[in-house]
Structure 1
Amino acid sequence: MTGLLGAAAAPADKRWRFRQALESGRLQRFPGAFSPLVAKLIAEIGFDGVYVSGAVLSADLGLPDIGLTTLTEVAARGAQIAGVTNLPTFIDADTGFGEPMSAARTVTVLEDAGLAGCHLEDQVNPKRCGHLDGKAVVETAEMAQRLRAAVSARRDPNFIMCARTDAAGIEGIGSAIDRAKAYADAGADLIFTEALRTPAEFEQFRAAVDTPLLANMTEFGKSELLTANQLTDLGYNVVIYPVTTLRLAMYAVEQGLREIDSAGTQSGLLDTMQHRSRLYELLRYGDYNQFDTDIFNFTLQGGSR
Protein backbone atom coordinates (compact mmCIF):
# COMPACT_ATOMS: atom_id res chain seq x y z
CA MET A 1 0.00 0.00 0.00
CA THR A 2 2.63 2.51 -1.12
CA GLY A 3 1.77 6.06 -0.18
CA LEU A 4 -1.11 5.11 2.12
CA LEU A 5 0.43 6.09 5.45
CA GLY A 6 2.59 8.82 3.97
CA ALA A 7 4.03 10.15 0.75
CA ALA A 8 5.44 7.55 -1.62
CA ALA A 9 8.07 9.98 -2.90
CA ALA A 10 11.16 10.65 -0.80
CA PRO A 11 11.91 14.27 0.17
CA ALA A 12 15.01 14.26 -2.06
CA ASP A 13 12.88 13.27 -5.05
CA LYS A 14 10.41 16.08 -4.36
CA ARG A 15 13.24 18.60 -4.13
CA TRP A 16 14.73 17.37 -7.41
CA ARG A 17 11.34 17.74 -9.11
CA PHE A 18 10.92 21.25 -7.74
CA ARG A 19 14.31 22.30 -9.06
CA GLN A 20 13.58 20.77 -12.46
CA ALA A 21 10.23 22.55 -12.51
CA LEU A 22 11.90 25.93 -11.95
CA GLU A 23 13.86 25.34 -15.13
CA SER A 24 10.93 23.95 -17.14
CA GLY A 25 9.50 27.25 -18.36
CA ARG A 26 6.07 26.25 -17.03
CA LEU A 27 4.38 28.19 -14.23
CA GLN A 28 4.27 26.17 -11.01
CA ARG A 29 1.06 26.67 -9.00
CA PHE A 30 1.38 26.28 -5.22
CA PRO A 31 -1.85 26.83 -3.26
CA GLY A 32 -1.49 27.27 0.48
CA ALA A 33 -2.45 24.44 2.82
CA PHE A 34 -3.33 25.06 6.46
CA SER A 35 -3.54 21.34 7.22
CA PRO A 36 -2.42 18.00 5.80
CA LEU A 37 -5.99 17.28 4.68
CA VAL A 38 -6.00 20.42 2.53
CA ALA A 39 -2.64 19.35 1.08
CA LYS A 40 -4.15 16.03 0.03
CA LEU A 41 -6.90 17.87 -1.83
CA ILE A 42 -4.37 20.16 -3.53
CA ALA A 43 -2.53 17.07 -4.76
CA GLU A 44 -5.69 15.29 -5.90
CA ILE A 45 -6.84 18.26 -7.98
CA GLY A 46 -3.50 18.32 -9.75
CA PHE A 47 -1.56 21.38 -8.62
CA ASP A 48 2.22 21.43 -8.85
CA GLY A 49 3.09 21.91 -5.20
CA VAL A 50 1.94 22.93 -1.74
CA TYR A 51 2.76 26.17 0.04
CA VAL A 52 2.80 26.69 3.82
CA SER A 53 2.27 30.33 4.73
CA GLY A 54 3.67 31.87 7.88
CA ALA A 55 0.65 34.19 8.05
CA VAL A 56 -1.71 31.22 7.88
CA LEU A 57 0.22 29.23 10.46
CA SER A 58 0.16 32.23 12.80
CA ALA A 59 -3.56 32.77 12.24
CA ASP A 60 -4.30 29.09 12.83
CA LEU A 61 -2.58 29.45 16.21
CA GLY A 62 -4.68 32.53 16.95
CA LEU A 63 -1.74 34.91 16.50
CA PRO A 64 -1.06 37.89 14.22
CA ASP A 65 1.64 37.60 11.56
CA ILE A 66 4.32 39.57 13.41
CA GLY A 67 7.05 36.97 13.90
CA LEU A 68 5.65 35.29 17.02
CA THR A 69 5.86 31.71 15.76
CA THR A 70 8.93 29.59 16.42
CA LEU A 71 11.07 27.40 14.20
CA THR A 72 9.77 24.35 16.06
CA GLU A 73 6.15 25.25 15.36
CA VAL A 74 6.80 26.03 11.70
CA ALA A 75 8.88 22.91 11.08
CA ALA A 76 6.36 20.65 12.82
CA ARG A 77 3.42 21.91 10.76
CA GLY A 78 5.54 21.81 7.62
CA ALA A 79 6.51 18.20 8.27
CA GLN A 80 2.88 17.19 8.76
CA ILE A 81 1.82 18.83 5.50
CA ALA A 82 4.83 17.70 3.46
CA GLY A 83 4.43 14.12 4.64
CA VAL A 84 1.03 13.39 3.10
CA THR A 85 1.58 14.06 -0.62
CA ASN A 86 4.15 13.44 -3.33
CA LEU A 87 4.18 17.13 -4.21
CA PRO A 88 7.05 19.40 -3.18
CA THR A 89 6.13 21.56 -0.19
CA PHE A 90 7.53 25.08 0.00
CA ILE A 91 7.43 26.94 3.33
CA ASP A 92 7.64 30.46 4.69
CA ALA A 93 10.58 30.78 7.10
CA ASP A 94 10.06 34.49 7.87
CA THR A 95 13.41 36.15 8.63
CA GLY A 96 15.11 32.88 9.56
CA PHE A 97 14.21 33.02 13.25
CA GLY A 98 17.21 35.06 14.34
CA GLU A 99 20.74 35.86 13.29
CA PRO A 100 22.47 34.31 10.23
CA MET A 101 23.46 31.27 12.28
CA SER A 102 19.79 30.79 13.17
CA ALA A 103 18.87 31.02 9.49
CA ALA A 104 21.42 28.30 8.79
CA ARG A 105 19.90 26.06 11.44
CA THR A 106 16.46 26.79 10.03
CA VAL A 107 17.48 25.25 6.72
CA THR A 108 18.81 22.07 8.34
CA VAL A 109 15.64 21.67 10.41
CA LEU A 110 13.37 22.23 7.41
CA GLU A 111 15.38 19.79 5.31
CA ASP A 112 14.99 17.18 8.05
CA ALA A 113 11.25 17.92 8.12
CA GLY A 114 10.94 16.93 4.45
CA LEU A 115 10.39 20.38 2.95
CA ALA A 116 11.45 21.08 -0.63
CA GLY A 117 12.41 24.70 -0.07
CA CYS A 118 11.82 27.83 1.97
CA HIS A 119 11.91 31.58 1.63
CA LEU A 120 13.68 34.07 3.84
CA GLU A 121 12.74 37.75 3.79
CA ASP A 122 14.63 40.98 4.22
CA GLN A 123 12.32 42.59 6.73
CA VAL A 124 13.48 43.82 10.10
CA ASN A 125 12.48 41.42 12.85
CA PRO A 126 9.77 41.40 14.17
CA LYS A 127 8.30 41.31 10.68
CA ARG A 128 4.77 42.04 9.57
CA CYS A 129 2.47 40.96 6.77
CA GLY A 130 3.98 41.97 3.45
CA HIS A 131 0.81 43.77 2.30
CA LEU A 132 0.60 46.08 5.32
CA ASP A 133 2.17 49.50 5.59
CA GLY A 134 4.87 50.38 8.10
CA LYS A 135 7.33 47.64 7.14
CA ALA A 136 11.07 48.11 7.42
CA VAL A 137 13.86 46.21 5.67
CA VAL A 138 17.40 45.46 6.74
CA GLU A 139 20.41 46.59 4.73
CA THR A 140 21.09 44.60 1.57
CA ALA A 141 24.41 43.34 2.95
CA GLU A 142 22.72 42.00 6.09
CA MET A 143 20.16 40.06 4.07
CA ALA A 144 22.89 38.73 1.79
CA GLN A 145 24.73 37.47 4.86
CA ARG A 146 21.52 35.81 6.06
CA LEU A 147 21.15 34.08 2.71
CA ARG A 148 24.78 32.97 2.45
CA ALA A 149 24.54 31.39 5.90
CA ALA A 150 21.34 29.56 4.96
CA VAL A 151 22.75 28.33 1.65
CA SER A 152 25.94 27.11 3.32
CA ALA A 153 23.89 24.93 5.68
CA ARG A 154 22.04 23.21 2.85
CA ARG A 155 22.98 19.54 2.55
CA ASP A 156 20.72 18.75 -0.39
CA PRO A 157 21.69 21.09 -3.24
CA ASN A 158 18.17 20.74 -4.62
CA PHE A 159 16.60 22.34 -1.54
CA ILE A 160 15.26 25.58 -3.03
CA MET A 161 16.43 28.72 -1.30
CA CYS A 162 14.15 31.64 -2.09
CA ALA A 163 14.83 35.25 -1.13
CA ARG A 164 11.86 37.51 -0.51
CA THR A 165 12.27 41.26 -0.71
CA ASP A 166 9.77 43.72 0.75
CA ALA A 167 11.69 46.72 -0.56
CA ALA A 168 9.41 47.64 -3.47
CA GLY A 169 6.86 49.39 -1.27
CA ILE A 170 9.51 51.02 0.92
CA GLU A 171 12.46 51.97 -1.27
CA GLY A 172 10.89 51.59 -4.72
CA ILE A 173 11.02 48.95 -7.44
CA GLY A 174 14.50 49.96 -8.54
CA SER A 175 15.87 49.19 -5.10
CA ALA A 176 13.97 45.89 -5.00
CA ILE A 177 15.53 44.92 -8.33
CA ASP A 178 19.02 45.77 -7.05
CA ARG A 179 18.35 43.71 -3.94
CA ALA A 180 17.09 40.77 -6.00
CA LYS A 181 20.33 40.72 -7.98
CA ALA A 182 22.40 40.87 -4.79
CA TYR A 183 20.36 38.07 -3.25
CA ALA A 184 20.84 35.90 -6.33
CA ASP A 185 24.58 36.53 -6.05
CA ALA A 186 24.36 35.38 -2.42
CA GLY A 187 22.92 32.05 -3.56
CA ALA A 188 19.15 32.49 -3.87
CA ASP A 189 17.60 30.10 -6.43
CA LEU A 190 14.29 31.97 -6.57
CA ILE A 191 13.26 35.58 -5.92
CA PHE A 192 9.95 36.53 -4.29
CA THR A 193 9.22 40.23 -4.59
CA GLU A 194 6.35 41.19 -2.32
CA ALA A 195 3.48 43.57 -2.96
CA LEU A 196 4.01 44.51 -6.60
CA ARG A 197 0.82 46.24 -7.67
CA THR A 198 0.19 46.02 -11.43
CA PRO A 199 1.07 43.79 -14.39
CA ALA A 200 3.47 46.52 -15.52
CA GLU A 201 5.39 46.29 -12.24
CA PHE A 202 5.57 42.49 -12.50
CA GLU A 203 6.79 42.88 -16.08
CA GLN A 204 9.40 45.49 -15.05
CA PHE A 205 10.79 43.16 -12.42
CA ARG A 206 10.91 40.20 -14.80
CA ALA A 207 12.72 42.23 -17.46
CA ALA A 208 15.43 43.26 -15.00
CA VAL A 209 16.08 40.00 -13.11
CA ASP A 210 17.36 36.75 -14.66
CA THR A 211 16.71 34.53 -11.62
CA PRO A 212 13.46 32.52 -11.45
CA LEU A 213 10.66 34.62 -9.94
CA LEU A 214 7.73 33.92 -7.61
CA ALA A 215 4.46 35.87 -7.64
CA ASN A 216 2.26 36.15 -4.57
CA MET A 217 -1.44 36.20 -5.47
CA THR A 218 -2.92 36.92 -2.07
CA GLU A 219 -6.39 38.40 -1.76
CA PHE A 220 -7.25 41.85 -0.33
CA GLY A 221 -3.65 43.04 -0.60
CA LYS A 222 -1.75 45.48 -2.78
CA SER A 223 -1.26 43.20 -5.80
CA GLU A 224 -3.75 42.96 -8.64
CA LEU A 225 -4.89 39.33 -8.87
CA LEU A 226 -3.36 38.05 -12.09
CA THR A 227 -4.38 34.81 -13.76
CA ALA A 228 -2.04 31.89 -14.27
CA ASN A 229 -2.04 32.67 -18.00
CA GLN A 230 -1.06 36.28 -17.34
CA LEU A 231 1.78 35.23 -15.06
CA THR A 232 2.94 32.68 -17.63
CA ASP A 233 2.99 35.35 -20.31
CA LEU A 234 4.95 37.63 -17.97
CA GLY A 235 7.56 34.90 -17.52
CA TYR A 236 7.04 34.05 -13.85
CA ASN A 237 8.07 30.63 -12.61
CA VAL A 238 6.02 30.06 -9.45
CA VAL A 239 2.75 31.47 -8.10
CA ILE A 240 1.52 31.01 -4.55
CA TYR A 241 -2.02 31.43 -3.24
CA PRO A 242 -1.02 31.59 0.42
CA VAL A 243 -4.18 32.35 2.41
CA THR A 244 -6.93 31.39 -0.06
CA THR A 245 -7.93 28.06 1.47
CA LEU A 246 -7.95 29.44 5.02
CA ARG A 247 -10.11 32.40 3.98
CA LEU A 248 -12.55 30.09 2.19
CA ALA A 249 -12.73 27.76 5.16
CA MET A 250 -13.08 30.47 7.81
CA TYR A 251 -15.82 32.25 5.87
CA ALA A 252 -17.79 29.00 5.64
CA VAL A 253 -17.18 28.17 9.31
CA GLU A 254 -18.34 31.61 10.45
CA GLN A 255 -21.47 31.47 8.31
CA GLY A 256 -22.26 28.01 9.61
CA LEU A 257 -21.76 28.87 13.26
CA ARG A 258 -23.98 31.92 12.92
CA GLU A 259 -26.66 29.76 11.29
CA ILE A 260 -26.51 27.25 14.13
CA ASP A 261 -26.66 30.08 16.67
CA SER A 262 -29.70 31.69 15.07
CA ALA A 263 -31.62 28.62 13.83
CA GLY A 264 -30.67 26.19 16.58
CA THR A 265 -29.71 23.48 14.06
CA GLN A 266 -27.26 22.82 11.24
CA SER A 267 -29.89 21.07 9.09
CA GLY A 268 -30.10 23.99 6.67
CA LEU A 269 -26.35 23.81 6.02
CA LEU A 270 -26.08 20.24 4.77
CA ASP A 271 -25.92 21.21 1.09
CA THR A 272 -22.90 23.46 1.80
CA MET A 273 -20.92 20.76 3.63
CA GLN A 274 -18.43 18.22 2.32
CA HIS A 275 -20.27 14.91 2.55
CA ARG A 276 -18.97 12.14 4.77
CA SER A 277 -18.50 9.92 1.70
CA ARG A 278 -16.31 12.54 -0.01
CA LEU A 279 -14.16 12.95 3.10
CA TYR A 280 -13.73 9.18 3.32
CA GLU A 281 -12.79 9.08 -0.37
CA LEU A 282 -10.12 11.75 0.16
CA LEU A 283 -8.79 9.89 3.21
CA ARG A 284 -8.82 6.55 1.33
CA TYR A 285 -10.84 4.73 3.96
CA GLY A 286 -11.44 1.80 1.62
CA ASP A 287 -7.70 1.29 1.11
CA TYR A 288 -7.10 1.35 4.86
CA ASN A 289 -9.78 -1.27 5.37
CA GLN A 290 -8.15 -3.49 2.73
CA PHE A 291 -4.73 -2.88 4.29
CA ASP A 292 -6.03 -3.92 7.71
CA THR A 293 -7.62 -7.07 6.28
CA ASP A 294 -4.34 -8.00 4.59
CA ILE A 295 -2.36 -7.59 7.84
CA PHE A 296 -4.67 -9.74 9.96
CA ASN A 297 -5.43 -12.34 7.33
CA PHE A 298 -3.46 -15.13 9.03
CA THR A 299 -3.69 -17.75 11.80
CA LEU A 300 -1.11 -18.26 14.52
CA GLN A 301 0.56 -21.68 14.35
CA GLY A 302 1.84 -23.81 17.22
CA GLY A 303 -0.28 -22.39 20.02
CA SER A 304 0.02 -19.10 21.89
CA ARG A 305 3.13 -17.62 23.46
Structure 2
Amino acid sequence: MRNDMPSRLRALLASDLPVRTGPAYDGLTTRIACETGFDAVSVGGYAVAASMGYPDVGLVTMTELLSAYRNCTRVSSVPVIGDADTGFGNAVNVMRAVQEFEDNGLAGMQIEDQQFPKQCPFLGSSTLISLDEAVGKIKAAVAARRNPDFVIKARTDATNLEEAIVRGKAYVEAGADVIYGINKCFPDIDAIRHFRQAVGVPIGFSILGWTESLTHEEVDSVGSCVVGWPFALILSVAGGAHENLKQLKEGKKVSDLTAPMMRRETLEGMLNIDDVRETHRLYIPD
Protein backbone atom coordinates (compact mmCIF):
# COMPACT_ATOMS: atom_id res chain seq x y z
CA MET A 1 0.00 0.00 0.00
CA ARG A 2 1.34 3.42 -0.97
CA ASN A 3 2.33 5.65 1.94
CA ASP A 4 0.36 8.90 1.53
CA MET A 5 2.03 10.62 4.49
CA PRO A 6 4.70 12.38 2.36
CA SER A 7 2.03 13.98 0.19
CA ARG A 8 0.08 14.98 3.30
CA LEU A 9 3.20 16.64 4.72
CA ARG A 10 3.78 18.48 1.44
CA ALA A 11 0.21 19.74 1.52
CA LEU A 12 0.84 21.15 5.00
CA LEU A 13 4.06 22.82 3.81
CA ALA A 14 2.19 24.46 0.93
CA SER A 15 0.25 26.53 3.45
CA ASP A 16 1.39 29.97 4.58
CA LEU A 17 1.12 28.82 8.20
CA PRO A 18 3.60 26.92 10.36
CA VAL A 19 3.45 23.14 10.55
CA ARG A 20 3.48 22.55 14.30
CA THR A 21 5.06 19.16 15.01
CA GLY A 22 4.45 17.29 18.22
CA PRO A 23 7.57 15.74 19.77
CA ALA A 24 7.62 11.95 20.20
CA TYR A 25 10.06 9.09 20.62
CA ASP A 26 7.90 5.94 20.77
CA GLY A 27 4.42 4.64 20.03
CA LEU A 28 2.78 6.01 23.17
CA THR A 29 4.16 9.54 22.83
CA THR A 30 3.19 9.51 19.15
CA ARG A 31 -0.39 8.64 20.11
CA ILE A 32 -0.35 11.51 22.60
CA ALA A 33 0.98 13.96 19.98
CA CYS A 34 -1.81 12.90 17.60
CA GLU A 35 -4.45 13.01 20.35
CA THR A 36 -3.48 16.58 21.27
CA GLY A 37 -3.93 17.83 17.72
CA PHE A 38 -0.48 18.48 16.26
CA ASP A 39 -0.19 18.80 12.48
CA ALA A 40 2.64 16.26 12.31
CA VAL A 41 5.03 14.38 14.57
CA SER A 42 8.76 14.99 14.83
CA VAL A 43 10.85 12.17 16.28
CA GLY A 44 14.17 13.69 17.32
CA GLY A 45 17.44 11.92 17.90
CA TYR A 46 17.89 13.64 21.27
CA ALA A 47 14.72 12.11 22.72
CA VAL A 48 15.30 8.67 21.19
CA ALA A 49 18.85 8.61 22.54
CA ALA A 50 17.65 9.74 25.97
CA SER A 51 14.95 7.06 26.01
CA MET A 52 17.75 4.53 25.47
CA GLY A 53 19.82 6.04 28.28
CA TYR A 54 22.34 7.83 26.04
CA PRO A 55 23.22 11.48 25.38
CA ASP A 56 22.74 12.82 21.85
CA VAL A 57 26.33 12.45 20.68
CA GLY A 58 26.01 10.05 17.76
CA LEU A 59 25.84 6.80 19.74
CA VAL A 60 22.49 5.63 18.34
CA THR A 61 22.66 3.64 15.11
CA MET A 62 20.36 3.84 12.09
CA THR A 63 18.93 0.43 12.98
CA GLU A 64 18.04 1.60 16.48
CA LEU A 65 16.49 4.83 15.20
CA LEU A 66 14.45 2.94 12.62
CA SER A 67 13.13 0.64 15.33
CA ALA A 68 11.85 3.71 17.20
CA TYR A 69 10.44 5.26 14.03
CA ARG A 70 8.50 2.10 13.13
CA ASN A 71 6.76 2.24 16.50
CA CYS A 72 5.81 5.84 15.77
CA THR A 73 4.61 5.47 12.17
CA ARG A 74 2.66 2.31 13.06
CA VAL A 75 0.27 4.28 15.28
CA SER A 76 0.40 7.80 13.86
CA SER A 77 -2.58 9.42 12.18
CA VAL A 78 -0.42 12.32 10.94
CA PRO A 79 2.89 12.56 9.01
CA VAL A 80 6.03 11.61 10.95
CA ILE A 81 9.42 13.24 10.33
CA GLY A 82 12.48 11.23 11.38
CA ASP A 83 15.92 12.45 12.39
CA ALA A 84 18.77 11.02 10.30
CA ASP A 85 21.51 12.83 12.23
CA THR A 86 24.42 13.23 9.78
CA GLY A 87 23.14 10.56 7.41
CA PHE A 88 25.02 7.64 9.02
CA GLY A 89 28.11 8.10 6.86
CA ASN A 90 28.84 9.52 3.42
CA ALA A 91 26.50 10.15 0.48
CA VAL A 92 26.20 6.43 -0.22
CA ASN A 93 24.99 5.82 3.35
CA VAL A 94 22.56 8.71 2.99
CA MET A 95 21.00 7.07 -0.07
CA ARG A 96 20.34 3.88 1.86
CA ALA A 97 18.97 5.87 4.80
CA VAL A 98 16.42 7.67 2.61
CA GLN A 99 15.02 4.42 1.28
CA GLU A 100 14.96 2.82 4.73
CA PHE A 101 13.07 5.83 6.05
CA GLU A 102 10.59 5.56 3.19
CA ASP A 103 10.14 1.81 3.77
CA ASN A 104 9.33 2.46 7.43
CA GLY A 105 6.47 4.85 6.73
CA LEU A 106 8.13 8.19 7.39
CA ALA A 107 6.96 11.32 5.57
CA GLY A 108 10.36 12.97 5.60
CA MET A 109 13.82 13.03 7.12
CA GLN A 110 16.12 15.61 8.61
CA ILE A 111 19.83 15.47 7.82
CA GLU A 112 22.43 17.82 9.27
CA ASP A 113 25.82 19.13 8.17
CA GLN A 114 27.88 18.28 11.25
CA GLN A 115 30.91 16.06 11.18
CA PHE A 116 30.46 12.57 12.66
CA PRO A 117 30.31 11.87 15.54
CA LYS A 118 27.75 14.62 15.90
CA GLN A 119 26.35 16.12 19.06
CA CYS A 120 23.34 18.20 19.97
CA PRO A 121 24.30 21.89 19.59
CA PHE A 122 23.23 22.51 23.20
CA LEU A 123 25.89 20.04 24.38
CA GLY A 124 28.76 22.06 22.91
CA SER A 125 30.22 23.44 19.70
CA SER A 126 29.84 21.59 16.40
CA THR A 127 32.26 21.09 13.53
CA LEU A 128 30.65 21.33 10.10
CA ILE A 129 31.55 19.27 7.06
CA SER A 130 32.55 21.20 3.94
CA LEU A 131 29.82 22.83 1.90
CA ASP A 132 30.66 20.60 -1.08
CA GLU A 133 30.31 17.43 0.98
CA ALA A 134 27.03 18.61 2.51
CA VAL A 135 25.62 19.49 -0.91
CA GLY A 136 26.64 16.05 -2.17
CA LYS A 137 24.70 14.40 0.67
CA ILE A 138 21.57 16.42 -0.13
CA LYS A 139 21.82 15.59 -3.82
CA ALA A 140 22.24 11.92 -2.94
CA ALA A 141 19.17 12.04 -0.68
CA VAL A 142 17.06 13.60 -3.43
CA ALA A 143 18.29 11.08 -6.00
CA ALA A 144 17.59 8.13 -3.70
CA ARG A 145 13.97 8.84 -2.82
CA ARG A 146 11.49 6.71 -4.73
CA ASN A 147 8.49 8.80 -3.73
CA PRO A 148 9.03 12.36 -5.02
CA ASP A 149 6.82 13.67 -2.21
CA PHE A 150 9.18 12.36 0.50
CA VAL A 151 10.42 15.52 2.23
CA ILE A 152 14.14 16.23 2.59
CA LYS A 153 14.73 18.62 5.49
CA ALA A 154 18.32 19.88 5.50
CA ARG A 155 19.65 21.27 8.76
CA THR A 156 22.64 23.54 9.00
CA ASP A 157 24.42 23.86 12.32
CA ALA A 158 26.10 27.10 11.29
CA THR A 159 25.93 29.54 14.19
CA ASN A 160 26.40 32.63 12.02
CA LEU A 161 23.23 33.77 10.28
CA GLU A 162 24.91 34.74 7.01
CA GLU A 163 26.77 31.42 6.81
CA ALA A 164 23.50 29.61 7.55
CA ILE A 165 21.87 31.48 4.66
CA VAL A 166 24.72 30.62 2.27
CA ARG A 167 24.51 26.96 3.22
CA GLY A 168 20.71 26.98 3.17
CA LYS A 169 20.57 28.39 -0.35
CA ALA A 170 23.08 25.79 -1.53
CA TYR A 171 21.00 22.99 0.02
CA VAL A 172 17.87 24.33 -1.70
CA GLU A 173 19.72 24.32 -5.02
CA ALA A 174 20.73 20.72 -4.29
CA GLY A 175 17.05 19.81 -3.89
CA ALA A 176 16.22 20.18 -0.18
CA ASP A 177 12.56 20.95 0.54
CA VAL A 178 12.95 22.51 4.00
CA ILE A 179 15.95 24.30 5.56
CA TYR A 180 16.37 24.07 9.33
CA GLY A 181 18.49 26.57 11.21
CA ILE A 182 19.63 26.05 14.79
CA ASN A 183 18.65 28.63 17.38
CA LYS A 184 22.25 29.76 17.89
CA CYS A 185 22.15 31.53 14.52
CA PHE A 186 18.93 33.44 15.27
CA PRO A 187 19.28 36.40 17.67
CA ASP A 188 15.59 37.34 17.37
CA ILE A 189 12.36 36.74 15.49
CA ASP A 190 13.38 39.16 12.75
CA ALA A 191 16.39 36.95 12.00
CA ILE A 192 14.09 33.93 11.64
CA ARG A 193 11.87 35.86 9.23
CA HIS A 194 14.94 37.03 7.28
CA PHE A 195 16.23 33.46 7.06
CA ARG A 196 12.86 32.31 5.68
CA GLN A 197 12.87 35.02 3.01
CA ALA A 198 16.52 34.47 2.11
CA VAL A 199 16.38 30.71 1.49
CA GLY A 200 13.06 30.92 -0.35
CA VAL A 201 11.55 27.64 0.92
CA PRO A 202 9.88 26.58 4.19
CA ILE A 203 12.30 26.64 7.10
CA GLY A 204 12.50 24.71 10.34
CA PHE A 205 13.31 25.98 13.81
CA SER A 206 12.85 24.82 17.37
CA ILE A 207 11.03 26.26 20.36
CA LEU A 208 13.71 26.15 23.02
CA GLY A 209 15.89 28.70 24.76
CA TRP A 210 14.99 32.25 23.77
CA THR A 211 12.35 31.12 21.25
CA GLU A 212 10.24 29.77 24.14
CA SER A 213 9.14 33.39 24.70
CA LEU A 214 7.65 33.71 21.18
CA THR A 215 3.90 34.14 21.00
CA HIS A 216 1.64 32.05 18.78
CA GLU A 217 1.20 35.07 16.52
CA GLU A 218 4.94 35.68 16.20
CA VAL A 219 5.50 32.09 15.11
CA ASP A 220 2.66 32.45 12.59
CA SER A 221 4.35 35.57 11.19
CA VAL A 222 7.26 33.47 9.92
CA GLY A 223 4.98 31.88 7.32
CA SER A 224 5.54 28.40 5.94
CA CYS A 225 7.84 26.57 8.34
CA VAL A 226 8.21 23.46 10.49
CA VAL A 227 8.20 24.19 14.21
CA GLY A 228 9.08 21.69 16.92
CA TRP A 229 9.66 21.37 20.66
CA PRO A 230 12.56 18.86 20.82
CA PHE A 231 13.17 19.00 24.58
CA ALA A 232 9.71 19.69 26.02
CA LEU A 233 8.35 16.15 25.98
CA ILE A 234 11.39 14.19 27.13
CA LEU A 235 12.04 16.69 29.94
CA SER A 236 8.38 16.51 31.01
CA VAL A 237 8.53 12.71 31.13
CA ALA A 238 11.89 12.61 32.89
CA GLY A 239 10.96 15.34 35.36
CA GLY A 240 7.57 13.87 36.26
CA ALA A 241 8.91 10.33 36.56
CA HIS A 242 11.87 11.39 38.68
CA GLU A 243 9.69 13.40 41.06
CA ASN A 244 7.04 10.72 41.56
CA LEU A 245 9.51 7.86 41.92
CA LYS A 246 11.46 9.87 44.49
CA GLN A 247 8.26 10.46 46.44
CA LEU A 248 7.33 6.77 46.29
CA LYS A 249 10.75 5.86 47.65
CA GLU A 250 10.22 8.36 50.47
CA GLY A 251 6.99 6.61 51.44
CA LYS A 252 4.26 8.70 49.81
CA LYS A 253 1.03 7.05 48.69
CA VAL A 254 0.30 6.96 44.97
CA SER A 255 -2.74 9.18 45.59
CA ASP A 256 -0.46 11.85 47.11
CA LEU A 257 2.08 12.09 44.28
CA THR A 258 2.48 15.67 43.04
CA ALA A 259 3.48 15.21 39.37
CA PRO A 260 0.43 14.75 37.10
CA MET A 261 -0.55 11.19 36.21
CA MET A 262 -2.92 10.06 33.45
CA ARG A 263 -5.84 7.93 34.54
CA ARG A 264 -5.32 4.27 33.67
CA GLU A 265 -8.64 4.15 31.81
CA THR A 266 -7.63 7.14 29.70
CA LEU A 267 -4.34 5.48 28.79
CA GLU A 268 -6.05 2.20 27.90
CA GLY A 269 -8.50 4.06 25.69
CA MET A 270 -5.63 5.80 23.91
CA LEU A 271 -4.06 2.38 23.33
CA ASN A 272 -7.29 1.15 21.68
CA ILE A 273 -8.03 -1.58 24.20
CA ASP A 274 -11.65 -1.77 22.95
CA ASP A 275 -10.42 -2.76 19.47
CA VAL A 276 -8.43 -5.61 20.99
CA ARG A 277 -11.46 -6.76 22.96
CA GLU A 278 -13.61 -6.69 19.84
CA THR A 279 -11.04 -8.72 17.92
CA HIS A 280 -10.99 -11.21 20.77
CA ARG A 281 -14.80 -11.45 20.65
CA LEU A 282 -14.85 -12.00 16.88
CA TYR A 283 -12.06 -14.49 16.43
CA ILE A 284 -11.20 -16.24 19.70
CA PRO A 285 -13.68 -18.76 21.09
CA ASP A 286 -14.66 -18.41 24.73
TM-score (norm 2): 0.94
Structure label with greater radius of gyration: 1
8 Å contact 2:244–2:259 — kept in the other structure?
no
Aligned mate of 2:27, from 36, 47, 58: 36
Is the contact made by 2:244 and 2:258 (CA closer than 8 Å) also made in structure 1? no
The aligned counterpart of 1:73 is 64
Question: 1:168-192: per-residue Cα shift (whole Å, max 9, x none)?
Answer: x2xx211110110000001100010
> Among 215, 235, 258, which residue is 2:246 paired with?
258
Backbone CA RMSD of aligned residues = 1.8
CA offsets 1:27-57 (integer angstroms, 9 cap, x no match): 1111111221111121122111111000111
Pair 62,216 (structure 1): closer, same or farther in 2 beyond 3 Å? same
Contact kept, 8 Å, 2:13 with 2:224, in 1: the verdict is: no
Query: Structure 2 CA distance, aligned partners of 1:163 and 1:181?
Result: 11
CA–CA distance in structure 1, aligned partners of residues 270 and 85 of structure 2? 31
Q: Distance in 2 between matches of 1:207 and 1:201?
A: 10
Mapping for residues 1-305 of structure 1, pairs under 5 Å: 12-167=3-158, 169=159, 172-195=160-183, 196-218=186-208, 221=209, 223-263=211-251, 265-269=253-257, 272-296=260-284
State the AA in 1 paired with 2:214: L
Q: TM-score, normalised by structure 1?
A: 0.88
Instruction: Give the whole-Å Cα distance in 2 for the aligned partners of 1:207 and 1:265.
Output: 55
1:181-206: per-residue Cα shift (whole Å, max 9, x none)? 00000110001011223212212212
Q: Residue type matched to 1:135 in 2?
A: S
Q: What letter is aligned with 1:34?
A: Y
Instruction: Give the superposition deviation at 1:130.
Output: 2.2
Structure-2 separation of matches of 1:47 and 1:90:
13
Q: In structure 1, what is the Cα distance between the partners aligned to 2:258 and 2:194?
A: 48
The AA in structure 2 aligned to 1:277 is E
CA contact (8 A) 1:53 1:243 kept: no
In structure 2, relative to structure 1, the CA distance for the partners of 1:21 and 1:216 (3 Å cut) is same
Taking a change above 3 Å as real, the CA distance of residues 261 and 69 of structure 1, as seen in their structure-2 partners, is: same
The alpha carbon displacement at 1:263 in A equals 2.0
* Distance across 2 between alignment mates of 1:271 and 1:250: 11
CA deviation profile, 1:188-229 (whole Å, cap 9, x unmatched): 0001011223212212212312111112113xx464542332
Q: Among the aligned pairs, what percent are the same residue?
A: 33
CA distance in 2, matches of 1:161, 1:17: 14
SS of equivalent residue, structure 1 residue 206: helix
Shift of 1:128: 1.1
Amino acid at match of 2:110: H
SS in structure 1 of the partner of residue 221 of structure 2 = helix
Further displaced range: 14-23 or 283-292: 283-292
Letter in 2 for 1:56: A
- When structure 1 is superposed on structure 2, of 272-281 and 227-236 the one drifting more is 227-236
